Amino acid sequence: MADKTYNAYAAAQKQFDDVADLIKLEEPLRVLLRQPSREYHFTIPVKMDDGSTKIFKGFRVQHNDARGPAKGGIRFHPEETIDTIRALSMWMTWKCAVVDIPLGGGKGGIVCDPREMTPGEQERLCRGYIRQLSRNMGPVQDVPAPDVMTNAQHMLWMLDEYEVIHNGRYPGAITGKPVGMGGSLGRTEATGYGVIYTLREALKALGIDIASTTASLQGFGNVAEHAARLYTALGGKIIAVSCWDNKDKKAYTYRKADGLDIERLAAIKDPFGTIDKEKALDLGCELLPGEDWIAQDVDIILPCALENQLTVDNFNKISKQVKVICEGANGPTAPECDELIKKSNIFLVPDFLCNAGGVTCSYFEQVQCNMNYFWPREEVLEKLDYKMTNAFAGVYRLAQEKGLYMRDAAYVIAINRVAEAVRLRGWV
């Protein structure tokens, strides 16, 4: 369950403030960049299958668009909050800047649980969301994409509603669509693959052969599954996977000392990342409490679920063997943990660099939609690898030159790029 005392927006602002002090950012830019440019709050009435009407709360936040249209996913989650959306929109600004793509930061969310809704109810919810937002989004304003518990089908319903309202075809208005309907090959794998591209580069920098490493993974949704697939394809071994069990309303860790078979695990999970517990036990998995993923004797831990998963309360459970933390999720590490990571001499690949593969491939999808010409999967992934590797190299080089923590180095690059765009536009 979420920690009710944790505020993702406060965490995002603290990270920003620390680096703004470091680079001596001028006051007007601090005030502008530490809060969103625009926010939309609205209600969405939906006719449910039983004939009743349910009212859902929706949000869209546009943090900054100095470098290009706002870009960011739409989350469906029963515990969604406006502060989480604010934080994620802010992180999206830095994410687009650190990988140097011409987009800004945005994020959206609906307080709902799609696991408890029929496909028809989900479709009506998606269309209702776009009806509320259609005047304030589009290919040159703000481009949504999938996020937690949303998928390509949700995006296509949203795009169809947008195109009906605006009486035309605007495939670049939303990304993460199905292939054949304006979606890009490679987009499904992109975020997870991007995580492993940066992990691969981190291990090279540390002089460690990826094939000799073991890892523990939190989450088994789209990002985690594809990260696991590529990591094991490169020779790594995943010892443990933790994920939420919607039936039992709790998390479990599935462990196998000689390595989990990711293909077989993926075959027994539902669309929301829940692994079938009984089938996992049949595969020989050991069943442990959900939080035990963090305590495994592995070389790498990959938090790929939700924010605030590495905290001062559980950090001491991390094995002395761990050499790398690769943040596949957004904001998985509480700000107070950064000092503990530094003292532990663990190499960190920060979230908005590590998981930028998704937005990078969304950018590629926009480019392809605008050209009405689509690249083969191999070309998409080759371009993604190039972008992620270059971004990692720039952050790592600055960290080495200035003696900076990797998160701080990534922030320095991102904030400077956005600040320069704001100055050049004459906003400050």
- Residue 214 β-bridge partners: 237
- Round to whole Å and give the CA distance between 312 and 340: 8
Active-site residue (options: 47, 54, 95, 107): 107
Contact 92, 331 (CB under 8 A): no
Contact predicate 193/183, CB 8 Å: no
Contact 278, 331 (CB under 8 A): no
Please report where in the chains the tokens 């020779």 appear, as a residue.
235
> What is residue 315's three-state secondary structure?
helix
CA nearest 90: which of 425, 418, 426, 362? Answer: 418
- DSSP category for residue 306: -
Distance, in Å, from the CA atom of 62 to the CA atom of 71, rounded to the nearest integer, reads 8
How far is CA 394 from each of CA 23, 51, 405, rounded to the nearest angstrom? 17, 55, 13
- Residue-by-residue DSSP string for 365-391: HHHHHHHT----HHHHHHHHHHHHHHH
Task: Tell me the residue length of the chain.
Answer: 428
Q: Tokens at residue 354, please? A: 């590590």
Let me know if 4 is a catalytic residue.
no
Give me the active site residues, please.
Answer: 107
